[in-house]
Structure 1
Amino acid sequence: MSGLCQDRVVVVTGAGRGIGRAHALAFAAEGAPVVVNDVDRDATAGVVAEIEDLGGKAVADTADVADWAGARELIGTALENFGRLDVLVNNAGFVRDRMLVNLGEDEWDAVIRVHLKGHFAPLRHAAEHWRAEAKAGRTPSARVINTSSGAGLLGSVGQGNYSAAKAGIAGLTVVAAAELARYGVTVNAIAPAARTRMTEAVFASMARPESGFDAMAPENVSPLVVWLGSEESAHVTGRVFEVEGGKVSLAQGWRHGPAVDKGERWDPAELGAVVQDLLERAPGPEPVYGAS
C-alpha cells in the first residue's frame, strides 16, 4: 500500500460490518489508526482484531452515534487514544422499508434518527474540536465523508423514510462544507451501491463472473473514501460522488434551471402556460428507483 493516510486518525461509524468494515480496513491498510464504531460490540471487536492482526492500530467504540453524549464520547475516543482526529466517516445506518401508506411513525423516526441525526451529532462534535484547533493556531487538514444514497439523490419506491434521511445528508454535506472551510475542514459525501445487510436481497446476483470481479462487493466503495480522507483531497469539498463497482461518478445536484420573470406578481390563471414552457426547456427528471 502507498501509506496515503499514514498516521491520519480516522473514525468510521457503523464499521462492524459491510461498507463500514471495508472502510476501516482500507484506512488501516494505508497507515491510519482507526476508531471502529458500531453498537454491535462483538462485530466491532472483530474488526479491531482484523486490523491489529494486519499490523495496524485500532480501538473499538460502541457509542450510539445518534445519541448526543454518545457522539461526543466517540470523538473523545479518538482524541484520548490517538491524540488527534483527522477524518470522520459517517456511515452508520439501517432500513425500515415500507410503502408510505404503511409506514409507521416509529419506522420513520428510527430511520431519520440513525441516519440523519447519526450524521449530524458526530459531525457537530468533530467540528467543535476542529474549530478550537484552528482558533489555537493549529489549523487542521481534516476531512468528513458522509454517506448518502442513490435513494436520497433520486428517490426510491418503498423507502420514503430512508430517501428523506439520505437527501438530508446530502443537504447537510453542502452546508457543512461551506461553514467549515475556514477551519481547514472539507466535507464530501458518497452515494454507494454495494451488497450489505441492507441491500443483499437486491444485489445478491450482481457481479462480473467473467472477470472474477464482484461489482457489488463493499470493498469497491472504500478506495474513494480513503482518497477523500487523505491530504491529497484538500481541493475537493461540498461534492457528492456515486460509487458502484469500478465506476465513480460525480452527482449533479439541484441547480437553477430555466426561468421566467414577469417583474410583478403572477395571476394564477397565467401560470399554466409558464410552467409548461419551463418544463419544455428543462431536461426531464431522473426516474425514481423502483418506479414503473
Structure 2
Amino acid sequence: MRDLQTSAYEARAVGVIDEKIAPRTSLINVVAIITGAGQGIGEATAKLFASHGAHVVVSDLDAKKAEDVASQITKAGGSAIALAGNVMDKDFGERVVKAAVDKWGKLNIIVNNAGFTADRMAHTTDDATFQLMLDCHITAPFRIIRAAAPYFRIKDENKRENMAIVNVSSTSGTHGNVGQLNYSAAKSGVLGLTKTMCKEWGPFGVRVN
C-alpha cells in the first residue's frame, strides 16, 4: 500500500480493507457531495464512496486537487465530477447542490468536511479570524444543508432513498484545546448543528451524524 493516495479500489483489490471489519455497503446510484475532497480525509472519503458505487461531487478550494481526485476516481471505474469553490461563498451551497442535481438528478448524501485552523491564543485572536472559523465550519455547512432541503425533506416515505448528512467535527469541539479558541468554538457549533438537524430531518428518514 503506497499511502493514503492509494484508492479504495486498489485497497479492496489487494485485501487491505477487511470486509469483516468494514463490510461492503451498497451505495450504487447514490449521489454524494463531499467538501474538502481534494486531499486527506475528504479525498479518502470520496474514493471510498465511489468504490461502493456512489456518484461523487469532489469539491475543493483548489481546482487542480479536485480535478485530480475526480480523475483518479473515473479512471478507476468510478463516477465523479469536480467542483472548485470556496465553501464560505454565500452562493456555494446552492451551487454545489445544483451541480449534483444537474448531473445525476438527485442528492442523497452530504459530507461537510472542508475546514482549516488558524491557531492563536484567545487574547491575540482578532474578530476577523474568529468569524472566519465560524463562517467555514458552521455557516458553510448550514448553507449547503439549507440548499439541499428540497431533496431531503421528502414527505412521501415511498419516494425516500438512502439519505444522510455527515458533519465533521473535532475533539477540539468536545474538549477544547489551548490556542484553538476560534476553532474549538466553531467545531462545538458543528455538534449543535448536527443534533438539531437530527431532530428536524430525522422524521424524514435522514441520518445526521
Which TM-score band (shorter chain)?
0.7 to 0.9
Matched, 1:26 2:45: no
Question: Which one of 35, 43, 68 corresponds to residue 65 of structure 2?
Answer: 43
- What fraction of aligned residue pairs are identical, expressed as a percent? 36
- Classify the secondary structure of the residue corresponding to 2:159: coil
Question: Which one of 27, 33, 40 corresponds to residue 5 of structure 1?
Answer: 27
Match of 2:98 in 1: 76
- Classify the secondary structure of the residue corresponding to 2:27: coil
Amino acid at match of 1:64: N
Give the distance between the partners of 1:163 and 1:99, measured in 2 at CA.
Answer: 12
In the alignment, is the contact (CA less than 8 A) between 1:140 and 1:185 conserved in 2?
Answer: no
Matched, 1:56 2:70: no
Match of 1:151 in 2: 172
Gaps of 5+ in 1: 189-292
In the alignment, is the contact (CA less than 8 A) between 1:90 and 1:146 conserved in 2?
Answer: yes
Matched, 1:182 2:182: no
73 and 135 in structure 1: CA distance in 2 versus 1, 3 angstrom threshold: farther
| Runs of 4+ residues deviating >4 angstroms | none
- Report the TM-score when normalising by structure 2: 0.85
Match of 1:108 in 2: 130
Output one character per residue of 1:165-189: Cα deviation in whole Å (capped at 9) or x when no partner: 000000110100000012221100x
Give the distance between the partners of 1:149 and 1:26, measured in 2 at CA.
Answer: 21
- Classify the secondary structure of the residue corresponding to 2:207: strand
Per the TM alignment, residue 78 of structure 1 is displaced from its structure 2 partner at its CA by 0.8
In the alignment, is the contact (CA less than 8 A) between 2:36 and 2:113 conserved in 1?
Answer: yes
**Equivalences for residues 190-229 of structure 1 within 5 A:** none
Match of 1:90 in 2: 112
Gaps of 5+ in 2: 1-11, 13-23
Give the distance between the partners of 1:105 and 1:47, measured in 2 at CA.
Answer: 35
Amino acid at match of 1:173: T
Give the distance between the partners of 1:21 and 1:44, measured in 2 at CA.
Answer: 9
Output one character per residue of 1:11-41: Cα deviation in whole Å (capped at 9) or x when no partner: 1011011111111011111111100011210
Amino acid at match of 1:70: F
Aligned length: 187
Give the distance between the partners of 1:95 and 1:5, measured in 2 at CA.
Answer: 32
**Equivalences for residues 138-287 of structure 1 within 5 A:** 138-188=159-209
- Classify the secondary structure of the residue corresponding to 2:155: helix
Per the TM alignment, residue 65 of structure 1 is displaced from its structure 2 partner at its CA by 2.2
58 and 167 in structure 1: CA distance in 2 versus 1, 3 angstrom threshold: same
Give the distance between the partners of 1:23 and 1:136, measured in 2 at CA.
Answer: 28
44 and 140 in structure 1: CA distance in 2 versus 1, 3 angstrom threshold: same
Output one character per residue of 1:54-99: Cα deviation in whole Å (capped at 9) or x when no partner: 1100001123223332111101111111111111000011111000
Match of 1:207 in 2: none
Amino acid at match of 1:100: A
- By percentage of residues, which structure has more helix? 2
Per the TM alignment, residue 105 of structure 1 is displaced from its structure 2 partner at its CA by 1.4
Give the distance between the partners of 1:141 and 1:40, measured in 2 at CA.
Answer: 29
- Classify the secondary structure of the residue corresponding to 1:168: helix
